[in-house]
Chain A
Amino acid sequence: MSILDILADNLRQGVVTLRYPQRVPPPPNYRGLVQIQSEECVGCASCAYVCVSAAIQVTDQPETYTWSYDPGKCTFCGRCVDACPTHALQMQEERPPIYHQAQKLAVTYRMAYPRCEGCGKPFKVATEILRQRAYGELSEQTEQLLRLCPTCRQKEALKLMIEARRVKEATQ
């Protein structure tokens, strides 16, 4: 096919592009804006660690942490979604809107660390998904231990061990 045929075809076919604001619908599995389900997030910052363009940042405060995302820096690579151990991140399947102000679509979530059931101090918890992935099915007792902060967990585990030894000695 010579270039003249191609040009003639193009002219015959007419215009195929759209005038803004019309846009071509995105293909399936399109990688749009990153979205977080904050209740699933445990503040591990894996997403921020893998994000090469520093679009996601996770900062630690004593009782809370903030998760922020600036789509203006995002390259929509999807690495954060892959890295999130709790599947808290997803990408929108629509195109991001067009905006004129920097930072317009930036979002920040401030989330509180869950509190220890023993002493009430905030701590980084392993969510259900993480626990299952690491230990498989857990007994009720282990589940209870994992809802404690590391200090309380040590104390509680020690108590349980002493208790077990006492029971063992009493039965011998």
Chain B
Amino acid sequence: MSSWFALLVFPGFLYALPMGWLMLWVERKTLARLQSRIGPPFYQPLFDFIKLMTKEPLPRPSQENRFYLFLPLLALGATLGALTLLPVLPHSFSLVGDLALFIALIEIAPICLVLLGFLSRSIFGQVGAVREAVLTIASNLPFIAALIALAYASGSLRLMDIALHAPPLARGLAVLAIFACLPIKLRLNPFSVANAEQEIYQGALTELDGWRLGLWELNHAVEWVALSGLTVSLALPWRSGLAVLDAAIFALLSLAVVFLLACLAGATARLKVGQASRFYWRWGFGFALLALAVSFFPFGG
């Protein structure tokens, strides 16, 4: 299948947009039910987006305006690009070494967020930016180590080969390490330190308003699809070959990952930045190291 299909239809734009909003809704609804609230109706994320996009933005100096347009758009484009590379359909478009490209693209949004925070010249924005930077480093250590373990164990840098051929033990450990990184990458409790609403007013997003925030929220929705999708597509060693069936299984399992993450967020409280990064250095990296060890020294191999 062509790269355009992957970018624009599945698992790209056409799939990611409704799915991202659905995931945001599943997260909010699950949290609401855990807290005995009704929660929003399923179309709420879409309406939020429309509302943000139609709001009259605050006037800003043109230099700042350019960055506020450019950074969310860059983040959105990069995240969509990363999503395109997910190995969902067996005969879909893939590149040699798309694993490295995926890591590069998925890391652009956090960098944009850090820049947005520093650009805001607000104390909350800057604190948020620093926290985001610290936590990105902390979570990327196990994240990238787990991906390296998978690549080594399956002998390829191509995501589809990794998904189909990684040995079970290394795969299990690596997927666990990747899953453990999701709350920090999606800025969820207990690791929602960088975008803490109550303490630092959403951190780096403090100064975003109107369509600028709308674009960022859209990027966040696509991040949900990409990261939950990565976990699912790497966890599943098997593809039916029937595109519709594979896509449906992928979508359902991705939603299940979102549900699990929302339950985790509902059951935990925000950690301090030191605690959060210690967790990743100890536990996340622990899993990733095990995965590395298993893939470099396979049992019986």
A15–B32 CA distance with the chains assembled, in angstroms: 9
In the complex, B65 has a CB within 8 A of chain A: no
Q: Are B267 and A19 in contact (CB under 8 A)?
A: no
* Interface size of A as a range: 10 to 19
List B contacts of A102 (CB < 8 A). Answer: none
Asked if B38 and A3 make an inter-chain contact with CB atoms under 8 angstroms apart, the answer reads no
Name the A residues within 8 Å of B34 (CB-CB). Answer: 7, 10-11
A4 vs B34: C-alpha distance when bound (angstroms): 10
Question: Which residues does chain A contribute within 8 Å of B33, judged by CB atoms?
Answer: 10-11, 15
Instruction: Say yes or no: A15 contacts B268, CB within 8 Å.
Output: no
- B268 proximity list for chain A (CB < 8 A): 3
- A14: Cβ under 8 A from any B Cβ: yes
The chain B residue with its CB closest to the CB of A20 is B38
A to B contact number (C-beta, < 8 Å) = 25
Point out the residue from A3, A7, A15 that lies within 8 Å of B37, measured CB to CB. A15
1/0 per residue, CB under 8 A from B, across A1-30: the answer is 001100100110111111100000000000
A17 near B37 with CB under 8 A, answer yes
Instruction: Give chain A residues whose Cβ lies under 8 Å from the Cβ of B266.
Output: 7
* Closest B residue to A3 using CB positions: B267
CA distance A100 to B270 in the complex (A): 36
Q: Which residues of chain A have a CB within 8 Å of any CB of chain B?
A: 3-4, 7, 10-11, 13-19
| A–B pairs, 8, beta carbons within 8 Å | A7-B34, A7-B267, A10-B35, A10-B36, A11-B33, A15-B36, A16-B37, A19-B38
Kindly list 12 other residue pairs between chains A and B, CB separation below 8 angstroms, not including A7-B34, A15-B33, A15-B38.
A4-B267, A7-B267, A10-B33, A10-B35, A10-B36, A13-B36, A14-B36, A16-B37, A17-B36, A17-B37, A17-B38, A18-B38
Taking Cβ atoms with an 8 Å cutoff, the residues of B that contact A are 33-38, 266-268
